[in-house]
Amino acid sequence: MRRAAVPPRFGNRPISGILAIILFLLVSAWCFDGSGFSITQLLGSSEYLLRFLREAFPPIDEHRLTFDQFHRYWLALIETFQMAFVGTLLGLVIGFILALFASRGLMFESRRSNLLQWSVKMLISLFRTVPDLVWAIIFVMVVGLGAFAGTLTIMVDTIGFCGRFFAEEMEDVDRSSAEALSASGARRFDIVFAAVVPAATPGLITTSLFAFEKAIRSSVVLGLVGAGGIGLELQSLMNWMAYDRAMVIIGMIFALVLVVEQLSTYLRKLVMKNER
C-alpha cells in the first residue's frame, strides 16, 4: 500500500554533524575532569553546610541583633541602591553617546568613520569584557575604599552593557523613515534624533531597566572588594562567623533584588503594552 520508503535513521545527516556531537562529548568530559566537580565531595561536606545553617537560623539568636546594627545594615542597603542607581544613570548617558558612534552607518558614513566606529566598539567591548570585580579593585585603588569606587565600577559596567545593546537596537530600527527625512534634506544628526531614536525608544528603555537590575545584583558583590555598600558588611560578618546576622543581610539583599526585579518587569510590560 505505502509507496514512500521510510527514510534511514541517519541517512541524510552529514558526517560533520556526528563529528561535532562526538567532539562536544569529548570536550565536556575533559572539562568535567578539570573542574573538580564531585558529588561525593559535595555530600561529604554536608556537615559544614549543616553547621552554617544551624548557626544561621534563627537569624538573630546568639549574636543579639541590636537596633543600631540593623540601622547600619539598612543604611548600607540604601547605599547599595544609591550606588547602583547613580552608576546606572551615568552609565546610560555615556553608553548612549558612545552607542551613537558605535552604531553602523548612523552618525557618519564614510571610510574614515568606519575606523571611528570600530574604535568606539572596541572601547565598549573593553568596558564589558573586563569583569566588574576587576574594575572595582582598580577603582578602589584609584579613589579609595567606599561607595564612590562602587559607583564608578557600575558606571563602567553599564557603559559596556548599554553601549553594545543600544547600538544594536539603533541598527535594527527600520530605516525607511530616516531615509525619507534624508531625502528631504535633513541633517544626519537631526535624523538620528527625530527618526531613529524615537523608533528605538522601547528597546532603549527595556535595556536600561535590565542594566539597572544587573547593577543592583553586582553592587551587592562589590562590597566584597571594599567598593562600598552592603557587601562589605556581609563579608565582615562571614569572616567573624556571625552566620545568623549574615543571614539577616542575605535576606535583605534578597528582598532588594526581588523588589527591583519585580518593579523592572512591571515597567517593561508597561512599555511594551503600547507597542505592537
Partner 1 sequence: MVAIVTAEDIAMRYGTMSILKGVSFALEAGESLSLIGSNGAGKSTLIRCLLSLEPITAGRISLFGREIQNLKPSELRSSRCRVGVVFQEHNLVPRLSVLSNVVHGALGRNTQTFGSMISGITLWSHIIAGSAHRERAMECLERVNLADLAHRRADTLSGGQSQRVAIARALMQEPDLIIADEPAASLDPIAGEEVMGLFSELCREAGVSLIFSTHNISHAVDFADRMMAMKSGKISIDCPTGSVDLQALKAEYA
The least CB distance from residue 274 to partner 1, in Å, is: 9
Long-range residue pairs from 264-267, CB within 8 A, at least 24 positions apart, any chain: 264/209, 264/210, 264/212, 264/213, 267/205, 267/209
What amino acid occupies position 70?
F
The least CB distance from residue 111 to partner 1, in Å, is: 15
| 228 neighbors 222 (Cβ within 8 angstroms) | yes
Closest to partner 1 by CB, 111 vs 276, is: 276
The least CB distance from residue 88 to partner 1, in Å, is: 24
**DSSP state, residue 24:** H
Query: How many Cα atoms within 13 Å fall on the side-chain side of residue 62?
Result: 11
The least CB distance from residue 169 to partner 1, in Å, is: 13
The least CB distance from residue 268 to partner 1, in Å, is: 16
Closest to partner 1 by CB, 26 vs 180, is: 180
| 194 neighbors 260 (Cβ within 8 angstroms) | no
Closest to partner 1 by CB, 56 vs 107, is: 107
Which parts of this chain interact with partner 1 (CB under 8 A)?
Answer: 174, 176-177, 179-187, 189-191, 193-195, 198-199, 201-202, 276
222 vs 209, 231, 242, CA distance in Å? Answer: 20, 6, 20
Identify the CA nearest to 88 among candidates 4, 31, 147, 157: 157
Closest to partner 1 by CB, 186 vs 257, is: 186
Closest to partner 1 by CB, 16 vs 184, is: 184
